[in-house]
Structure 1
Amino acid sequence: MATTTPAGVRAHAKPGGGSPGSAPMSHRQIMEALSGLLLGMFVAILSSTIVSNALPKIIGDLGGGQSAYTWVVTASLLSMTAT
């Protein structure tokens, strides 16, 4: 069955949706996937909170200045973004 989207593009709708041969996810599978994603986000936020609170002391003990602090924060944000 072909349908036309608002942009005028023809799309072929499959009954049941999804890729051929794939069954829809059960409620349990959806909850497991969502729980895993939320747990990962929680650990990342917790990690960044701990590092941001401890970083001034760490930089001070290592004899670094403001530029070292800036580089560490930038590298941390970049790695979290990439992840």
Structure 2
Amino acid sequence: MRKHSIPKALVKLYVMIVIFFTLLIWTIWGNAALTVSNIKISSSRIPPAFSGFRIAQVSDLHNVEFGKGNKKLLELLSESKPGIR
């Protein structure tokens, strides 16, 4: 019985295709995922009146819509309870 082997060039092609699609999916997910980062800042230069004040910053949307009318984004912002609206 004779064994059939896959040509090395074909194996390399399959590996390249898998890598390409993995990077493509990762890029699409990275541009469409909502993430929240909480950063606490302290400084003697910040007046005591701002103690506990929360700022919500939205950046890097890349023209992606998060739900109809950005509903998911607005809900996430509302949940963060920023100090001003």
Alignment TM-score, normalising by the size of structure 1: 0.42
Q: Whose RCO is larger (CA < 8 A, sep 6+)?
A: 2
Would you tell me which structure has more helix in proportion to its own residues?
1
